[in-house]
Amino acid sequence: MKEKRLLYAQIAAFGASSLALAFAGLTNDVTRGGRIGNVFIGIVFWLGLAGGIVLSVLLSKQRKAAGADEGKIGIINFFSNKPAIVFDCLMIVSCIASIVFLVLQSQIFIGYISIALFFFSLEMHCVLNGKNYKYITSNVED
C-alpha cells in the first residue's frame, strides 16, 4: 500500500513539473509581473522533478529490500503494459508536434503545451515501463 502511494506521489510530482512547463508560455510578459511568475514556475518545475526522482529512488530501495530486482530499466523498455503503450505513443506524437512547433515558431503557447506533454509522457514512459511499476502492479496488494 505504501508503494502505491509513493507511485501516485511520484506521478503527481512529475505532473507538476510538466504543468510548470505548460504555463511557462503565459509568463513571458515581464512588465506585468512575469518575472515573479517565471521564478514560481521554475521553482515548481525543479521541485516537481527532484521530488519525482527522490520518490523513484525510495521506490527502488523498497523494491530491492523486498528482493525483486529483475527486468530492464524503464528508459530502454517500450510498450510493456497498457498504460505504457498509451504514454509511449503520446511521447512519440508530442515529440513530433514539439519539433514542428519549434521549427515553425508559430503558436508558441501550443508549442509549450506540446513540450510539456512530451516531457510528462517521457517521465511516464520511464515510470510505467520500469522495474518499480512492474513490482508494484504484480506484488503489492491494495
Residue 38: give the domain boundaries. Answer: 2-139
Q: Does residue 141 register a pLDDT over 70?
A: no
pTM reported for the whole predicted model: 0.88
CA distances from 69 to 8, 59, 131 (A): 21, 12, 7
**Number of domains making up the chain:** 1
Over residues 92-108, the pLDDT tens digits come to 999 999 999 888 877 77
Please state at what angle helix 108-128 crosses helix 82-104, rounded to 10 degrees.
Answer: 150
pLDDT band with cut points at 50, 70 and 90 for residue 66: confident
Q: Does residue 69 register a pLDDT over 60?
A: yes
Mean pLDDT of the chain: 88
Over residues 106-130, the pLDDT tens digits come to 777 888 899 999 999 999 999 999 9
Please state at what angle helix 2-23 crosses helix 131-139, rounded to 10 degrees.
Answer: 140
CA atoms within 13 A on the CB side of 122: 12
CA distances from 88 to 12, 51, 80, 115 (A): 18, 22, 10, 15
For residue 108, the model assigns a pLDDT of 77
Average pLDDT value for residue range 6-33: 84
DSSP line for 32-59: GTHHHHHHHHHHHHHHHHHHHHHHHHHH
